Structure 1
Amino acid sequence: MFLVQNLPQKLAYEYAKRGASMALVARRGKLLNTVAEAARGGGAPDVLVLPADISDADESKRVVMETVAHFGRLDHLVANAGICSGSPFEQITDITAFTKIMDVNFWGSIYPAYYALPHLKASRGKIIVNTSMAARIPVPNTSFYNASKAALMRFYETVRFEFGSEIQITILLPGYVESEMLKGKGLHNDGQVVLNKPGRYVEMGVPVGRAERLAKVVVDRACRGDKYVTWPSWYGPFHIVMSLAPEVVDFFHYLLG
């Protein structure tokens, strides 16, 4: 079952190449149908389209139940719901609007997993959850986004221990990869979703990875049982830097800011 945004579109196509059937879930029905058609053409034997808002617990329960009713089982859950914010904390004019970030980014990847648990245990399945390098590197002006992704990573690290070998969890920590967010889509300081200019680091020429390439990496490494996927690979050293010398990351932000 795929929660569709930019990367999961490519993931759906990658799974389709391998002959997987799938359910596609997102709010935008037109987009779902487009992705479903391409996935069928790419090798998927059966594609179920389920428009839904997975930040709503009842909607998440419904799509899991409909998926299992249709296919008879659930092997992989790919969670990628996400919305960004692009405003310094002190410039926010409607703080209550920013609860949406936690609703989508955190709960939108928790609710489906909660209702999918018995089915994933039965199949000894997998959860692939997209956090972000923002869970490790606190990029300025995206405080709520960073916090939501950090919470999501720590949640899945915790339940991975609880599940043991019953359910495999692969946590994605991508850096800058093609997406609507990278093009500037996110919450403005008044809480409205707008399309701003690309982020500062993109303008400065920070390398951006292709979603299609990341999709192949993710499926390959999730299928072999990797616990984490950091990509593009040059982001890997940041894990060590954040642990041993976080001031280096602060200086990096200062230079680019």
Structure 2
Amino acid sequence: MNTKKLLVVGNPISHSLSPLIHTYAIKKLGLSGTYTSQKLELDTSKEEFVSFIIKSSLDGLNITVPFKELAFSAVSQAQGIAKDIGAINTIVVKDSKLIGYNTDALGFYECIKKYSFKKALILGAGGSARAISLILRLQGFEVDVSNRSEGKLKDFKEVNTLLFKDLDSKKNYDLVINATSASLQDILPLDKETLKAIFKNSQLAFDLMYKDTKTPFCALASELGIKEKDGKDMLIYQGALAFLKFFDLEDALLEKVVTYMREALL
């Protein structure tokens, strides 16, 4: 059996739990593979990114912030929903071609589908925000996307977009999603008073980032008695979906992989 060489790239990356959960699932399923992490420089070009993958003899990789849009530009072809999102978080190397997927969208939806939510606010406008915006819209949600600056908001065509400074703190959102990387710097994505007012009219605060302790975003929601969830569940679901791609496994094995990845975090 060929040993798969897999890794996750990002910046920062030292906090990533992906090597832990993937390595555990590989072992439990009796597969042959290694999964590590690699920090890339923030100014990595498309050419440097592709060269790194080929020279490292990788069979596949996961991509986290802030390289998901770079990955989309670098792949030989994008599959499925990734084509509409314009961001890639999973690459499988096949016959020297880079095949790109987005498992963030479905991975996120798996985490919230049990709720009867219909209105969502997404803070941030990067690749993860695009994935979540699309999957929620496909599921019939009313979606607002807000960002500090206008630049990336132009990528959101079929949802309402607004700047942080224009947020209406009196508007009701069932779900408030932090798709910025602010929590990795241990800060809130926007000013505390505005966020508190938004939380008070919401039911669930979901931070795509995660830490050993509560992120500032989740901690604030918790203080206000609002249910909160960090990015570990999404990490597991998007990771399990990527895992099936890496090892060419049947979809029926998804829940088994999810179970093993959960075990890895216990």
> Shorter-normalised TM-score: what interval?
0.3 to 0.5
In the superposition, the TM-score normalised over structure 1's length comes to: 0.36
Greater helix content: 1
In the superposition, the TM-score normalised over structure 2's length comes to: 0.36
Give the structure, 1 or 2, with the largest relative contact order (CA under 8 Å, sep 6 or more).
1
